[in-house]
Structure 1
Amino acid sequence: MHIPHIPVLYNETLEAFNDITQGFIIDCTLGYGGHSEGLLKQNSQIKLIANDQDDEALAFSKKRLEAFKERVLFNKGNFEHVLEQFKDFEVRGILADIGVSSLQLDKQERGFGFESDTLDMRMNQNQTLDANFVVNTYTQADLERIFKEYGEVREYKKVASLIVNNRPFTTAKELSDFLLKKMHKGKIHPATLPFQAIRIEVNDELGVLERLFESIEALKPKNCIVAIISFHSLEDRIVKNCFKKWTKSCICAPTAYRCECGNNHALGKVITKKPIIPNKEEIKNNPRSRSSKLRIFKFD
């Protein structure tokens, strides 16, 4: 079968879970099953919970992982809820690859790419909020907010003003061509960061990631490896700060005269002092991997 997606940091991700010899690994973002297939091949003892909110991804991966069906539980849903659903299982590994898959990007009808003939960007096609609604109905102030916060767009006010004064836009191609014509052309396409911001808003990507961490912290899974692959600085900052918080032994207020909390609240340790990034060969073979970062935490 044709594999439409190259999993990023593949060997590094498998290595993160190499010592797990029992229990379940949850692949929170199954996608097209690349990481999951590797994990199942690597260790014949582990079982896998394969989660995704995209019907197309689930259908593809069920075929791809057919040889391991006795060891795989498929689950449709947003990954922010998956830990709650499987809290009674022996969870020894949690993997989340927080990127848009290549198939979603490449399929023009999904509306993620600059050449798309729709303006959609929904990872879950059952939800109502889409890019068309954001672009064509949000106030200028709301567009400024998302471009500034989610896209870190330098000229966020100008981009928002241009869109509001020239809408409606009916396709991603129409919007990207418009921004290419109106905005300064730097190293990257001028629509790159505005598109990132719209996609994050449509899918509530940062909120979902924060709630995933809240659910992991609530579960406090014993002897569990958590590996998160992120693709831009906003996501990576959330991952880094959360892992740092989990290592804190003292949780007293900074103003406390002395420690009164017992100084025993560390949940585990960070395995990656610095994020693991792809090597030159991987970037050459898969240019979309260039911004990926892998951070790993181990619960005691």
Structure 2
Amino acid sequence: MTSFSHIPVLLNEVLDEFADYQGTIIDATLGLGGHSFALLEQNKNINIIGIDKDIEAIALAKERLNIFGARFKALHSSFSNGIKDILSKNDNIIGILADIGISSYQVDNPNRGFSFYSDSLDMRMDTNSHLTAKMVINSYSKDELHRIFIEYGEIKNPTFITKIILDYRKNHTINTAKELSQLIESHSKINSKIHPATLVFQSLRIEVNDELGELKRFLNNIENLKKAKVAIISFHSLEDRIVKEKFKTWAKSCICSNDTIKCICGNNHKKGDILYKKPIIPSQNEIRANKRSRSAKMRCFRFYE
């Protein structure tokens, strides 16, 4: 069997959320199957359908979870399309888990181009898709680069970063993640524990994989669930904000516009409850054991019958 080093984020907290459930849970972002393995091992009364757009991750997860036999099934798909397909064929879904961060397997695989030190510049979660980070960084216009750095990286100096890249592109093609990270690092004057190229890489990854659009479509596709719990783990403020606002919308009984003087919608549109006022975050012990967990936030929602 292939060796795995993946450490699932907020694992104990995820296990607590689904400890007493019976039925089918969808692991919408299967990855290497760490959460699914632990859930199936803990609770003999659940089955899991895992979704992932990364065909390599699907293969590795199947290898890892084949000990559970028919209790586990996998679907190769984006999680927004996959969830729509599964829900159209199943009416007994009692839980959905989505860990929407990049998997450690993708970061650690030098051929995937996610790492600062990779000799490729790919960043596709689905290797069958067309757009790569190399295409973005070498072909996007000044305005397009500026846009993604602001929208997806919330970079404070997007004009400066864009100029560095455009100036370099006059005489060079940026072929590797290592080359790009070194270019940005060489122009950075800020001493920080975080690599100076972090937000640029985040911007590229979100653009290449349409991550925010994918998350929004996923949430729209599950909003008519009944009697099910949803747990979503995000890793940066853009994702967390989308999840937070969608949960707040689902929890509203009145959906009239703010300028409506008197409710005319019927005041009965509440879909369920937000389970915690604040997101669940990793303990200091978990962060010490797995530094990649430090920015994780989990929000949970329970749909009514």
Helix, strand or coil: the match of 2:282? coil
> Paired residue for 1:38?
38
Cα distance in structure 1, aligned partners of 2:112 and 2:247 = 33
Structure 1 runs (4+) deviating above 3 angstroms are: none
Moved more, 45-54 or 120-129: 45-54
Q: TM-score, normalised by structure 1?
A: 0.97
* Matched residue, 1:130: 132
Verify: 1:66 aligned to 2:105, yes or no.
no
TM-fit CA distance, 1:255: 1.4
Q: Deviations over 1:124-163 (max 9, x none)?
A: 0000100000000000111000001100111101101110
Indicate whether 1:264 and 2:265 are aligned.
Answer: no
Aligned amino acid, residue 34 of structure 1: G
Deviation at 1:165, TM superposition (A): 1.4
Q: Distance in 2 between matches of 1:239 and 1:186?
A: 32
Residue in 1 that maps onto 2:56: 56
Instruction: State the alpha-carbon separation in 2 of the partners of residues 19 and 266 from structure 1.
Output: 25
Aligned residue number for residue 210 of structure 2:
204
- Percentage of pairs with the same residue: 51
- Aligned residues, how many? 297
Structure 2 residue ranges without an equivalent (≥5): none
SS of aligned partner of 1:196: helix
- Which of 274, 279, 284 aligns to 1:280? It is 284
Match of 1:157 in 2: 159
* Contact 2:66 2:72 (8 Å CA) reproduced: no
1:63-212 paired onto structure 2 within 5 Å: 63-87=63-87, 88-89=89-90, 90-167=92-169, 168-187=173-192, 188-212=194-218
TM-score, scaled relative to structure 2 = 0.95
Q: Secondary structure at the match of 1:81?
A: helix
Residue 43 of structure 1, CA deviation: 1.6
For residues 43-69 of structure 1, the C-alpha deviation after alignment (integer angstroms, 9 at most, x for no partner) is 212111111111111111111111112
- Does the residue aligned with 1:127 lie in a helix, a strand or coil? coil
The letter for the 1-side match of 2:216 is: E
Q: CA deviation at 1:77?
A: 0.3
- Root mean square deviation of aligned Cα: 0.9
2:11 aligned partner: 10
Q: Supply the AA of the counterpart residue of 2:209.
A: N
Q: CA deviation at 1:186?
A: 3.2
The question of 1:19 aligning with 2:23 is answered no
Q: Which runs of 5+ in 1 are unaligned?
A: none
**Counterpart-to-counterpart distance in 2, 1:237 and 1:83:** 21
